[in-house]
Amino acid sequence: MKILVVHGPNLNLLGTREPDVYGRTTLQDINQQIMELSGELGLDTVIFQSNSEGAIVDALQNTPCDALIINPAAYTHTSVAIRDAIAAVGRPAIEVHISNIHKREEFRKTSYMAGVVTGQISGLGMEGYLLALRACRKILGR
């Protein structure tokens, strides 16, 4: 079972970026935990990060996978292109946010992805990615 994990813009700065909002865990730490749990669950996981909308669309189109986990970061609230790419590939998709987007500024409460993903995890920090992996395992195992 192949899983694609996509991290959107500015998530490469986790650890130093607004630590009061996103915590001190770095993207490298998160990715390490994702890979460790993937091994335990028997998932073949590929991780991709980009600050560019088009590069994320290309990754969604060109990386074969059975399910995907995506934190589109700021593009959550703006990108019809990423939403359409998720819909186009037609795979189970879990949207993850480190912070609770519904508890923050008004503009963050709208997710362009929400209508095309299987489910959303928001506000559980890096644990959200690990829960998403378990969810993928269950969805694919059915």
Catalytic residues: 22, 97
Tokens standing for 28? Answer: 């490298």
Rg (CA), the chain: 14
Query: 13 or 44: whose CB is closer to ligand DQA?
Result: 13
Q: Are 80 and 106 in contact (CB under 8 A)?
A: no
Using CB atoms within 10 A of its CB, is residue 43 exposed (0-12), middle (13-18) or buried (19+)?
Answer: buried
Q: Which is nearer to ligand DQA, 83 or 97 (CB)?
A: 97
For 56, the token pair is 């994320």
Residues of this chain that interact with ligand DQA (CB under 6 A) are 10, 71, 73-74, 76, 97-99, 101, 108
Q: Least Å distance between CB 64 and ligand DQA? A: 25
Among 110, 105, 137, 132, residue whose Cα is nearest residue 121: 132
Nearer to ligand DQA, 43 or 121 (CB): 121
Q: How far is the CB of 67 from ligand DQA (least distance, A)?
A: 19
In the bound state, the residue with its beta carbon closest to ligand DQA is: 73
In whole angstroms, the minimum distance from the beta carbon of 17 to ligand DQA comes to: 8
Which residue type does 120 have? Q
